[in-house]
Amino acid sequence: MMMSFSFQLLLPIFFFLITTSLSQHANNQFCEAGIESGESTCGTSSSTNKLLIKGGTVVNAHHQHVADVYVEDGIIVAVQPNIMVGDDVYVIDATGKFVMPGGIDPHAHLGMDALGTTSVDDFFSGQSAALAGGTTMHIDFVMPINGNLTAGFEAYEKKAKNSCMDYGFHVAVTKWDESVSTDMEIMVKEKGINSFKFFMAYKEFIMVNDELLLQGFKKCKSLGALAMVHAENGDAVYAGQQKMIELGITGPEGHPLSRPPMLEGEATSRAIRLADFVNTPLYVVHVMSIDAMEEIAKARKSGQRVIGEPIVSGLALDDSWLWHPDFTTAAKYLMSPPIRSKGHDKALQSALATGVLQLVGTDHCAWNSTQKARGVDDFRQIINGVNGIEERMHVVWDIMVESGQISVTDYVRVTSTECARIFNIYPRKGAILPGSDADIIILNPNSSFEITAKSHHSRLDTNVYEGWKGKGKIEVTIAGGRVVWENNELKVVPGNGRYIQMPPFSYLFDGLDKKDAVYLNSLKAPVKRAKSTT
């Protein structure tokens, strides 16, 4: 429910700033102390209940104009030129800069457990990195415990207690029985979940077959929840892995060779057809290949409701690094589906620019060099995952806006607004409008950035974008009305993040009942036939 807010701006202003000492851990600028116990005294948070962003170009997904933005108690109160306030208001001069909605990352894995270890970025360190890079909300994936959705959700609630920015959850479904069906209802009706993910890969672990996929799609449709798929043919990938081992290919290069683009394309096509059979919207996560992208393009052209999510590594990188002679260097680029060969990146960029693909995620899942090294003799044992939660906004600006492929308004759409619309939290998120949450970034198009593992805010000891330089730097991040990134200084407190419930039946479900009715009317069945007399 949207709150109402006063527009009487000429009032006495109270500006409150909480500061405590900030200790550095290695090269990171966020505090480590007190994290395990959940203490909120660690770090520094600039918490302003009233602030004014003056003179910037305010950019929304469909419009940009020069205006001031006034914020009160974490909510945008007014967006208009020449707002007058008292002298004691915290004022940020954004002249010559872009004022935009904070980024929303639809795809990240913080505190991920796999193969007996946990990813190095928990909700605090990962979100701290996100804020330094201009992302003010992320949506994580709840992994069930022994197939149990409720147990998985409760575990992730605990993982997120030290969060420092807003977050939501998708929930993965890895088996099917009546208890899973019941849990899906509970997730949607009581827990604020409106999306469920199905893995078509990872045979013998979490892969689902077509029967489960159909059951899950039907349940998603009935609940108004969006079905999401990791689209790779898991059976064929398993066979491909065995083939590489038989050929003596055990290094990181065996990973892309064992799961080529055709297997991503096949699974994407199959998922699209099954979703069409059920008549439910489909979201394809981390689209990495031309093969998958073309299947999405064909489906969308026919009128089917399919969302394609490229991720920043697929847009910006190619697989040549996986052949690097140094194992540590090669292994840091290993993820699934794999980063593809040259040409796929440019095709995905073009698809994003033309609307075939709709929004950009990261699949941020950070494993350090030691964790990756478990697979030094067998690529199948290298833990999958790359970074990107801090780098996404800068890299997308560099490769898409600076290159002239998309406009500044399109940049807002693909990094923030479309995610908010798909997951039904717009205009609370994804907009610079009165009544929206004050999740705001200020980007200086004339300032430069450089990405290095030494200066990033993740706990990761490597970075797949190492040495990347570009123009367009996010100079200020405001999360929930608090200035958390300014003057290259990060000011965050664990526990300040909020869980954002996401309601079902987003715009993607509009009119589906009419399509169902058209289908039923077209059947011309059952046919009435006389009973046989013989």
pLDDT for 518 beyond 60: yes
| Per-residue confidence (pLDDT) for residue 295, from 0 to 100 | 98
Q: Tell me the percentage of the chain whose pLDDT exceeds 70.
A: 91
Count up the domains in the chain and report the number. Answer: 1
- Residue count of the chain: 534
| Per-residue confidence (pLDDT) for residue 534, from 0 to 100 | 63
Does the pTM surpass 0.85? The reply is yes
Contacts of 1 (CB under 8 A, 6+ apart): none
pLDDT for 7 beyond 60: no
Give the residue numbers spanning the domain of 208. Answer: 102-434+446-468
pLDDT for 45 beyond 90: no
Q: Summarize pLDDT for 173-205 with one digit per residue, the tens.
A: 999 999 999 999 999 999 999 999 999 999 999
pLDDT for 359 beyond 90: yes
Pairing of strands 90-93, 113-114: unpaired
Q: Summarize pLDDT for 439-493 with one digit per residue, the tens.
A: 999 999 999 999 999 999 999 999 999 999 999 999 999 999 999 999 999 999 9
| 135-142: strand order across its sheet | 103-108, 135-142, 166-172, 195-199, 226-230, 282-284, 306-308
| Per-residue confidence (pLDDT) for residue 87, from 0 to 100 | 80
60 within domain boundaries: no
| Per-residue confidence (pLDDT) for residue 88, from 0 to 100 | 83
Lowest-pLDDT choice from 41-55, 99-113, 288-302, 399-413: 41-55
* pLDDT mean over 388-417: 98
Whether residue 281 contacts residue 521, with contact meaning beta carbons closer than 8 Å, is answered with no
Residue 113 forms beta bridges with which residues?
118
Q: Summarize pLDDT for 225-240 with one digit per residue, the tens.
A: 999 999 999 999 999 9
Instruction: Give the pLDDT band (50/70/90) at residue 532.
Output: confident
Helix (H) or strand (E) holding 216: helix 210-223
What backbone torsions phi and psi does residue 327 show, to the nearest 5 degrees? -60, -45
How many angstroms separate the first and last alpha carbons of the chain? 66
Q: Taking Cα atoms as reference points, which of 371, 395, 396, 400 lies closest to residue 384?
A: 371
| Per-residue confidence (pLDDT) for residue 237, from 0 to 100 | 98
88 within domain boundaries: no
Whether residue 50 contacts residue 89, with contact meaning beta carbons closer than 8 Å, is answered with yes
| Per-residue confidence (pLDDT) for residue 533, from 0 to 100 | 65
Residue 404 forms beta bridges with which residues?
none
309 within domain boundaries: yes
pLDDT for 29 beyond 80: no
**3-state SS class at 317:** coil
| Per-residue confidence (pLDDT) for residue 22, from 0 to 100 | 30
Tokens in use for 182? Answer: 């019941």
265 within domain boundaries: yes
Please state whether the peptide bond connecting residue 503 to the residue before it is cis, i.e. omega within 30 degrees of 0.
no
Q: What letter would DSSP give residue 173?
A: -
**Whole-number CA gyration radius for the chain:** 24
* pLDDT mean over 108-132: 97
* Average pLDDT of the chain, as a whole number: 92
335 within domain boundaries: yes
50 within domain boundaries: no
Q: Tell me the percentage of the chain whose pLDDT exceeds 90.
A: 89
pLDDT for 128 beyond 70: yes
CA diameter of the chain: 97
Instruction: Give the pLDDT band (50/70/90) at residue 8.
Output: very low
CATH number of the domain that residue 332 is part of: 3.20.20.140
